[in-house]
Amino acid sequence: MTFRSRAFSGVQPTGNLHLGNYLGAVSRWVPVQDQMETIFCVVDLHAITASFPDPGELQAATREVTAAYIAAGIDPKKSIIFNQSQVPAHSELAWIFNCVARIGWMNRMTQFKDKAGKNRENASLGLLAYPSLMAADILAYKATHVPVGDDQKQHLELTRDIAAKFNNDFAAQVKELGVGVPNPTPSPELPEELFFPMTEPMIAGPATRIMSLRDGTKKMSKSDPSDLSRINLIDDEDTISKKIRKAKTDPEALPSEVDGLAGRPEAGNLVGIYAALAEKTKDEVLQEFGGRQFSEFKPALADLAVAKLTPMTSEMRRYKEEPAEIDSILKDGAERAAAIAEPILKDVRKIIGFLDVR
- Out of 6, 7, 8, 20, name the contact with ligand AQP by CB under 6 A: 20
Contact 298, 245 (CB under 8 A): yes
Query: Is residue 142 annotated as part of the catalytic site, yes or no?
Result: no
CB-nearer residue toward ligand AQP: 21 or 241 = 21
User: 153, 165, 222, 298: which is the annotated catalytic residue?
Assistant: 222
Give every CB contact of residue 104 below 8 A, 6+ residues apart in sequence. Answer: none
Amino acid making up residue 354: F
Q: Distance between CA atoms of 231 and 21, rounded to whole angstroms?
A: 10
| Cβ burial 9-36 (10 Å sphere, 16+ → b, else e) | bbbbbbbbbbbbbbbbbbbbbbebbeee
Q: Which of 6, 7, 8, 12 touches ligand AQP (CB under 6 A)?
A: 12
Residue pair 46/84 in contact by the 8 Å Cβ criterion = yes
List the one residue out of 37, 34, 32, 29 whose CA is nearest residue 68: 29
Binding of ligand AQP at residue 25 (CB under 6 A)? yes
The residues near 226 (Cβ < 8 Å, ≥ 6 apart) are 212, 214
Nearest distance in Å: CB 112, ligand AQP: 11
> CB-wise, 37 or 137, nearer to ligand AQP?
137
Q: Which stretch binds ligand AQP (CB under 6 A): 166-174, 219-227, 236-244, 338-346?
A: 219-227
The answer to whether residue 219 forms part of the interface with ligand AQP (CB under 6 A) is yes
For ligand AQP, give the closer residue by CB, 47 or 286. Answer: 47
The answer to the question of residue 191 lying near ligand AQP (CB under 6 A) is no
Task: Label the pairing between strands 200-202 and 145-147.
Answer: parallel
Helical (H) or strand (E) element with 181: strand 181-182
N-terminal to C-terminal alpha carbon distance within the chain: 30
C-alpha 62/C-alpha 2 separation (Å) is 34
Q: Which region, judged by CB under 6 A, interacts with ligand AQP, from 17-25, 78-86, 176-184, 254-262?
A: 17-25
Of 87-95, 143-151, 233-241, 324-332, the window that binds ligand AQP (rule: CB under 6 A) is: 143-151
- Nearer Cβ to ligand AQP, position 213 or 329? 213
Q: List the one residue out of 334, 312, 338 whose CA is nearest residue 67.
A: 312
Rounded to the nearest whole angstrom, what is the least distance from the CB of residue 83 to ligand AQP in the complex? 13
SS3 186: coil
Nearer to ligand AQP, 194 or 301 (CB): 301
3-state secondary structure of 12: coil
CA distance 335 to 340: 9
Tell me which of 131, 149, 206, 272 binds ligand AQP, using CB under 6 A: 149
Q: Which of 6, 7, 8, 14 is the binder for ligand AQP (CB under 6 A)?
A: 14
Q: Which stretch binds ligand AQP (CB under 6 A): 6-14, 79-87, 137-145, 181-189?
A: 6-14
Quote the least distance from Cβ 184 to ligand AQP, whole Å.
Answer: 25
| 352, containing H or E segment | helix 323-352
Residue closest to ligand AQP, measured at CB: 24
**Using the rule CB under 6 A, is 27 a contact of ligand AQP?**
no
Task: List contacts with ligand AQP (CB under 6 A).
Answer: 11-12, 14, 20-21, 24-25, 148-149, 151-152, 208-210, 219-223
Active-site residues: which are they?
115, 219, 222
